[in-house]
Structures are given as structure tokens and as C-alpha cells.
Amino acid sequence: MTTRRAFIGTIAGGLLARPLAAEAQSSRKPPIVGVLGVSGEGPAAGIDRFFQGLRDLGWVEGQNVILERRIAEGREERLPALAAELILLKVDVILAAGGPASLNAARDATKTIPIVMVASSRDPIGTGLIQSYARPGGNITGLVTAPEELTGKQLELLKEARPGLSRVGILWDATTGPFRLQKETAEVAQTLGIELFPFEVHGPADFDGTVAAATKQRVGGLLFAGSPMFVRNRRKIADLLAKHRLPAISVWSSFTEAGVLIAYGPSLPDLFRRAAVYVDKILKGAKPGDLPVERPTKFELVINLKTAKALGLTIPQSLLQRADEIIQ
């Protein structure tokens, strides 16, 4: 009799425990992922691919994850306040999407909440963001665009598009920090027989004067990074380049869509997809300081043939065959 009662009690206890365990599991709050960006253009244009990447990894918004988006709509001065909002929401991880401004705001807001940087053009070691690529330490990890490798390749492509090129101007967004010529870029320029002329831009009001100054220096082409300020003013830049008949190369395809001759840079969809993998690992318990910082593995070349025709340039067939996209 005692054995039968004990058995029935065990069954009943198990039946009662199941709904209690299920209730406890369902009451557990889903993790919160904060997304901080300057705008939805340029290096932050792949944010939708990040969300898709999370879904591919099993994270469904509103079910097992909460996504808090904070986009500054091009106004970088808003980023610190937006980052502070994410901290107050007690997010579990922050995606700093594109450009150093969003990364700086996230870093200044917290030293403990994990930060995943994506499409950042900063030197993460030289600026003290991480200790090393293999073991970043601290609370920051993610993906960088490796500008020291990009710029050299961009010079090669610009020279291929305009074989007689010997003087190239580099437009530099001074709001991202002082200009520093990378050793790799200088070596490539020397090999190609190209003399480099840096021009610092402090704001949109400088564009006219800077491009005019580059023309006076008799540069045969321009190279510039994909900073948020340049992205926001890409059409104005493209118009000025057309006015002064200057071929140019930049990073993102949005520049060639605006009328710049060539774009060569990392695939944004691929970078943001990989950023989702970082967030997935962190939400599952990995420490950001233990996750190696990675560089791009997939690049895209876009050529605007309409611009080439307007500039009187004939793009070599060998270059066109390597293009991922050609704008007619």
C-alpha cells in the first residue's frame, strides 16, 4: 500500500512540476540586443542583413529576442544620448553599426556590456579598442574593414582605370581623427609610381574648396573613405567630381550609384551576417574578449560606366570582367 501511494505521489508531483517548469521558462525574459548606428546608409546599410542573420540562427524578434534600434538619422551628435538609452534598457549586447562615431558612443557608454563593431574603419589596436586581433580582451569585438589593405587595392584599381595616373588626392574626413598615411598604402603608391596628396575635410562646406584645391595640385584622381559624412554628401561629391572631371574611387556601392567612377570595398551584407554570428555567440555565453576580431573576406567591385563615358575614359575589359556590378 505504501509503495502504491509513493508511486502515485511521484506521478502527481511530476505532473505538477511540468507546468511550473514551463511557466518559469516562459517567464524568463528574452535577451535584448541594442543596435546603434549613424544612419541607414553607407556602412550601416547592411543592418537588415544583420536581422536576417539573427533569424537564420534561430533568434526571432518578439519571441526569444528583443531588438532595440537606435539610429541617429545622420546626426552624429545624437549618438551618445542614444547609447545611453540602450544602457538604461539594460541591453545584453550592442551592435555598433558602421563608422567610428557609433563605436565611440557605445564604448564611452559602457565598459561592461559586450559591443560588436561592424564595418569599422578604425585601427582597433592603435586606438586602444582591443589588445590584439586574436584575443581582443575587454568588452569589444567584431569586424573591421582593414583600411590599410583596402586603400592600396583601391589605388591599383584607379591606376588600372586610368593608366597614366601619377598624382592622387586622398580626401580625409577630419572629424574621424587626424590623417595618417598607412605604411602599406605608401608602399603600393611608390610601386605604382603615384604621388599622394592628402586633403582634410572638416565639414560639407569644405567640399567645394577641397576638390578645387586638388585640381590645382593637378591630381589625376581622388580616393576617399566611406565615412558617414561622405556618405551623406555623396551626391554633392559626385557632382563636384563631374564638374572638375576627376575619376575617383571609394568604398561603398552607394557612391557609384551617386556617380562616382569606382567603388571597391567589403561586402556589407556579408559583414552584417557575420556580425549576427558574434551576437549569437555572446547571447549563448561567450565573452567578447575571447572572440577574435575578424577582417573582411568578401569584397565587391562596382564600376559606373556612365561616369567613365562622361570623363572620356575607356575602362579596360580586364577590369570590367572582374566587376561584381556595372552601372550603365
| Rg of the chain (C-alpha set) | 25
pTM listed for this prediction: 0.83
Domains of the chain: 32-145+267-298 (3.40.50.2300), 147-266+300-327 (3.40.50.2300)
Confirm if 243 and 272 have CB atoms less than 8 A apart: no
Helix (H) or strand (E) holding 244, with range, is none
Helix orientation angle between 207-216 and 234-243, rounded to the nearest 10 degrees: 30
Using alpha carbons, select from 195, 204, 183 the residue that is nearest to residue 223.
195
How far apart, in Å, do the first and last CA atoms of the chain sit? 89
Q: Report, as ranges of residue numbers, the positions in the chain whose pLDDT lies below 50.
A: 1-3, 6-8, 10-12, 15-16, 18, 20-25
- Residue 72 and residue 80: Cα distance in Å, rounded? 10
pLDDT the model gives residue 2: 47
Query: Which residues lie closer than 8 Å to 64 by C-beta, 6 or more apart?
Result: 30, 58
Confirm if 265 and 145 have CB atoms less than 8 A apart: yes
Task: List pLDDT tens digits, range 94-148.
Answer: 999 977 889 999 999 999 999 999 977 677 888 888 999 999 999 999 999 876 6
